[in-house]
Amino acid sequence: MATKFCRLVCSLTVIAVSLAILVLSAIPAAAVEYAALTGVKGLDSVFDFSLGSPETAAVIFPAVLDVHQNREVRTLPAAPRTVIVFHDSAVKLISTDRKGMEKNDMEAYDKVAEFIRQLKKAGIKMEVCMYAVKVFGVDPVTLMPEIDRVGNGFISVLGYQAQGYSLQVIP
């Protein structure tokens, strides 16, 4: 009786293993989409954002979010660290001041503000250059609270680079 039982278990095991091999061989091997990530331990990025166009920001911000949340980036041993530093006329994008704007412009700036909130919620660090805020006449009180303030954004960008962050300039 024990022998019959052993034969039955062995037969079922052989069938199960055979089926598993058959199923697994039918599934195409997962291709690595980014060969550039081979051997990379983690992806640390600093985006130097100086372009003041809300239309361009509406295209760039989702791409930055994808870098931070990308499946292959997330499977690296170290979690990604992503920073955006706002310079130049980009400081106007992160102001809540909408006085004198046309309705279409207001909607574009409101869309940027929503992206900023999404980026912050995703864990992306953002900084604004207070030197640029002063030069471009933006009232510091109107800056979005999601964004940290630094005296000179160039120092931040250089500091992140010195820490090993990769630089991506958005002119």
- Flag whether pLDDT at 157 surpasses 90: yes
Q: Is the domain of 70 the same as that of 122?
A: yes
Q: Is the domain of 46 the same as that of 123?
A: yes
Q: Classify residue 157: in a domain, yes or no.
A: yes
Q: Which domain holds residue 69?
A: 42-170
pLDDT in tens, 122-139: 999 999 999 999 999 999
Q: Classify residue 111: in a domain, yes or no.
A: yes
- Flag whether pLDDT at 22 surpasses 70: no
Q: What is the number of structural domains in the chain?
A: 2
Between 33 and 68, name the one with better pLDDT: 68
| Residue among 64, 53, 57, 48 nearest 154 (CA) | 48
Q: Is the domain of 98 the same as that of 151?
A: yes
- Flag whether pLDDT at 72 surpasses 60: yes
| Residue among 109, 111, 74 nearest 90 (CA) | 109
Confidence of residue 171 (pLDDT cuts 50, 70, 90): confident
